[in-house]
Amino acid sequence: MLVVHSPLSTLHAPKYEVLSGALVPYFESPTRVQLILDCLLADPESRFTALSQEWTLQELEEDSFRKLISEVHGEDYLDFLRTVYSRWVGEGGNPDAVLPETFLRQDLLLEPEEASARERQAGAIELAGRFSFDLSAPVTAETYLCALASARLAVRSVELLLEDRSAKGAFALCRPPGHHAAPSLCGGYCYLSNVAIATKWYQQQASSSSESTAEGKPKVAILDIDYHHGNGTSKVFYSDPSVFYVSLHGSPDYPYFTGASTEVGAGAGVGTNLNLPLPLGTNDEEYLFALSQAMNRIKSWSPEFLFVSLGVDTFIGDPLTDFKITVDAYEKMGRLIASGGVQTVFAMEGGYCLDKIGECVRGVLAGFEA
Ligand code: SP5
Ligand code: ZN
Per-residue pLDDT reduced to its tens digit, 259-288: 999 999 999 999 999 999 999 999 999 999
- Residue pair 363/330 in contact (Cβ under 8 Å)? The answer is yes
| Minimal-distance CA residue to ligand 1 atom 4 | 188
The answer to whether 189 and 133 have CB atoms below 8 angstroms apart is: no
User: Tell me, what's the pLDDT at 237?
Assistant: 99
Cα–Cα separations (whole angstroms), residue 257 to 176, 210, 224: 22, 36, 17
Is the confidence at residue 81, as pLDDT, over 70? yes
Q: Does the C-beta of 320 come closer than 6 Å to ligand 1?
A: yes
Catalytic choice (180, 228, 229, 249)? 180
Ligand 1: which residue has its CA nearest to atom 7?
A: 188
Task: Give CA–CA dist 153/6, Å, rounded.
Answer: 8
Q: What spacing in Å lies between the alpha carbon of 301 and ligand 1's midpoint? A: 31
pLDDT for position 113: 77
> What is the per-residue pLDDT for 199?
98
User: What is the average per-residue pLDDT within 338-362?
Assistant: 98
pLDDT average, residue stretch 41-62: 97
- C-beta of residue 147 within 8 angstroms of C-beta of residue 6: no
pLDDT at residue 212, rounded to an integer: 84
Does residue 11 surpass a pLDDT of 90? yes
Cα separation, 178 vs 187, whole angstroms: 9
Integer Cα distance of 162 and 199 in angstroms: 13
**Residues 345-362: what's their mean pLDDT?**
98
* pTM of the predicted model as reported, rounded to 2 decimal places: 0.98
Q: Is the CB of 226 under 6 A from ligand 1?
A: yes
**Cβ 311 vs Cβ 226: under 8 Å:** yes
Closest-lying ligand 1 atom to the alpha carbon of residue 177: 1
Average pLDDT, the chain: 97
Residue 351: pLDDT over 90: yes
Q: How confident is the model at residue 115 (pLDDT cuts 50, 70, 90)?
A: low
Name the residue with the closest Cα to ligand 1, atom 9.
Answer: 254
Average pLDDT rounded to a whole number, residues 81-86: 98
CATH code of domain 2-58+146-369: 3.40.800.20
Name 81's Cβ contacts closer than 8 Å, sequence gap at least 6: 131, 139, 143, 144, 147, 186, 191, 192
Tell me which DSSP letter residue 227 carries.
Answer: S
pLDDT of residue 111: 86
Q: In what helix (H) or strand (E) does residue 189 lie, and over which residues does it extend?
A: none
What is the Å distance from ligand 1's center to 188 Cα? 7
Q: Are 238 and 309 within 8 A, CB to CB? A: no
3-class SS of residue 79: helix
Q: How far is the CA of 349 from the centre of ligand 2 (A)?
A: 7
The whole-number average pLDDT for the span 141-167 is 98
| Ligand 1 proximity of 189 Cβ (cutoff 6 Å) | yes
Residues with C-beta atoms within 5 A of ion ligand 2: 226-228, 311, 313, 350
For the chain, the structural domain boundaries read 2-58+146-369
- 180 annotated active-site: yes
Which is it for the CA torsion 250, 253, 258, 261, positive or negative? positive
Residue nearest to atom 2 of ligand 1 (CA): 350
Cα(181) to centroid of ligand 1, in Å?
14
Task: Give the dihedral sign, CA 223/228/231/233.
Answer: negative
Which pLDDT score, from 0 to 100, does residue 211 have? 81
DSSP string, 132-154: BSSSS--B-TTHHHHHHHHHHHH
Instruction: State the Cα–Cα distance between residues 1 and 271, nearest whole angstrom.
Output: 32
Q: Per-residue pLDDT for 119 more than 80?
A: no
Q: Which residues contact 232 (CB under 8 A, 6 or more apart)?
A: 178, 179, 180, 181, 182, 183, 185, 190, 193, 196
